[in-house]
Homo-oligomer: A and B are copies of this chain.
Amino acid sequence: MDVEAPKELLEPLQLPRRILTGPGPSNCSQRVLQALRQQVLGHMHPEVFQLMDEIKAGLRYAFQTANKFTLAISASGHAGMEASIGNVLERGENILIVKAGLWGERAADIAGRLGIHVDFLETEPGVAFTPDTLEEAIKKHRPKAVFVVHSESSTGLKQPLEGIGNVVHKYGGLLIVDTVASLGAEPFYADAWGIDVVYTGSQKVLGAPAGITPISFSPEAVKKIQSRRSPVPVYYWDMNLLGKYWNCFEGQGPRIYHHTVSATLVYGLREALAQLVEEGLAASWTRHASVTEKFHRGLLRRGYEFFVKEPSHRLRTVSAIMLPRDVEASRVIRYAMDRYNVEISGGLGPSAGKVIRIGLMGVNATPGHVDLVLRALDEAVKFAKCQLKSNL
């Protein structure tokens, strides 16, 4: 052998227990984990097709849509962003991106690579835009599509979406919405709100492992994709092909092989959606709301300020709060992890260095987790202050 066997792989796999209360991934339920250990199946086996159909049904419920074109991409959430933009738009077309945090910037990066012209509606980080300001920007730029993040996990902002679809459609555009950090926790109605493309993360509220990304396209979006003059630049998420594998086209005949779906991740997502169905979507929304209300009450009682000033625009999944000016975030984060195995995250994008972020999603959205996180936070801040004093 030219290259010798690496000795580190002779050590057994050892993993710590972590309570994932950052902005995601969140923990998986025992039921989901149990599904992941099942032996794999082939990507063209009828049993896998049935699970894919069940996933489609579960996702239509989660997205609240009748879209036949609802499926999951075999990649992480960023691929949902890239597939949305790359399918409905072509080189030379234009998109209006609402830039309220990191994810809008990322969407612009992705669109730019594909030769799509980007205009921005820039908002102050942590502040929602109104349908009126959007309409002004649309009138000015006349975009083929508008990209909006429902749950800006970098700042904890929830963007209200009612009425946005009408504004976008009035000028002939398509509305793309990122619900990576909200779907299943925040009320969301893809059809009633006139959303043309929506995707979410498997590893946040839904509680499946990362690596498989739910996405849904309205009939208008599908029409746009089917009338493209150029091929979708990426085979891996070309919906013309992927849709045939996921059986999304009316009367399409047998499914056609496109890629090897990961049976493991299909099992996990199927079970996560089954748990959502068992709990009920409305019940899940309510649970996340009441848990976050308890959490935010606890934070306010302690004098914390939120990055998002308007209370009704604070996400019930990821909260971004300011630490006292003399407390170093990195110390707090390390202490909570070392002593409590509790994940607290720092800021990201516009909130980097300014906040800590805490997520209570899926199986971690319980009153017990609120108590645990607050206890860990209290102690960690106390510790960080002590350290500060002892350093003086």
Closest chain-B Cβ to A287's Cβ sits at a distance in Å of 16
Binds B, one of A121-129, A265-273, A313-321: A265-273
* Interface residues in A200-232 (C-beta closer than 8 Å to B): 201, 203, 209-212, 231-232
Contact across chains for A9 and B78 when beta carbons are under 8 A apart:
no
Binds B, one of A14-22, A167-175, A297-305, A380-388: A14-22
For residue A43, CB closer than 8 A to chain B, the reply is yes
The residue in A58, A238, A274 that gathers the most chain B C-beta atoms within 10 A of its C-beta is: A274
- CB-CB under 8 A from A18, the residues of chain B are 39, 41-42, 45
CA A78 – CA B238 in complex, angstroms? 12
Q: A18-B42, A76-B260, A209-B263 are in contact. Are A233 and B36 (CB under 8 A)?
A: no
Chain A residues with CB under 8 Å of chain B are 1-6, 8-10, 13, 15-18, 20, 22, 24-25, 27-28, 33-43, 45, 47, 51, 53-54, 57-58, 60-61, 64-66, 74-79, 82, 106, 109-110, 112-114, 189, 191-192, 201, 203, 209-212, 231-236, 238, 257-265, 267-268, 270-271, 273-274, 277-278, 280-282, 343, 348
Q: What 10 A-B pairs are tightest by C-beta distance, nearest first?
A: A211-B262, A6-B57, A37-B37, A209-B264, A9-B277, A210-B262, A36-B36, A9-B274, A75-B75, A210-B260
The residue in A259, A281, A282 that gathers the most chain B C-beta atoms within 10 A of its C-beta is: A259
Seed contacts A75-B236, A78-B236, A210-B263; 17 additional CB < 8 Å A-B pairs:
A1-B282, A5-B61, A5-B281, A9-B278, A10-B274, A15-B38, A25-B263, A33-B38, A34-B37, A36-B36, A40-B203, A113-B238, A203-B260, A210-B260, A211-B262, A211-B265, A257-B348
How many copies of this chain?
Answer: 2
Q: A1-B64, A3-B66, A189-B2 are in contact. Are A113 and B203 (CB under 8 A)?
A: no
Closest to A111 in B: B235
The residue in A17, A28, A189 that gathers the most chain B C-beta atoms within 10 A of its C-beta is: A28
Contact across chains for B267 and A264 when beta carbons are under 8 A apart:
no
Contact across chains for B39 and A28 when beta carbons are under 8 A apart:
yes
**The one of B212, B257, B270 that contacts A13, using a Cβ cutoff of 8 Å:** B270
**The one of B51, B277, B281 that contacts A10, using a Cβ cutoff of 8 Å:** B277
**The one of B15, B66, B280 that contacts A39, using a Cβ cutoff of 8 Å:** B15
CA A76 – CA B74 in complex, angstroms? 7
Contact across chains for B74 and A75 when beta carbons are under 8 A apart:
yes
Write 7 A-B pairs (CB below 8 A) sorted by A numbering: A22-B42, A76-B259, A78-B260, A106-B235, A210-B260, A211-B264, A264-B265
The residue in A6, A113, A270, A278 that gathers the most chain B C-beta atoms within 10 A of its C-beta is: A6
The residue in A35, A79, A264 that gathers the most chain B C-beta atoms within 10 A of its C-beta is: A264
CA A216 – CA B83 in complex, angstroms? 25
- CB-CB under 8 A from A192, the residues of chain B are 2
Contact across chains for B113 and A231 when beta carbons are under 8 A apart:
yes
CA A110 – CA B231 in complex, angstroms? 10
Closest chain-B Cβ to A236's Cβ sits at a distance in Å of 5
- CB-CB under 8 A from A51, the residues of chain B are 13
Contact across chains for B260 and A262 when beta carbons are under 8 A apart:
no
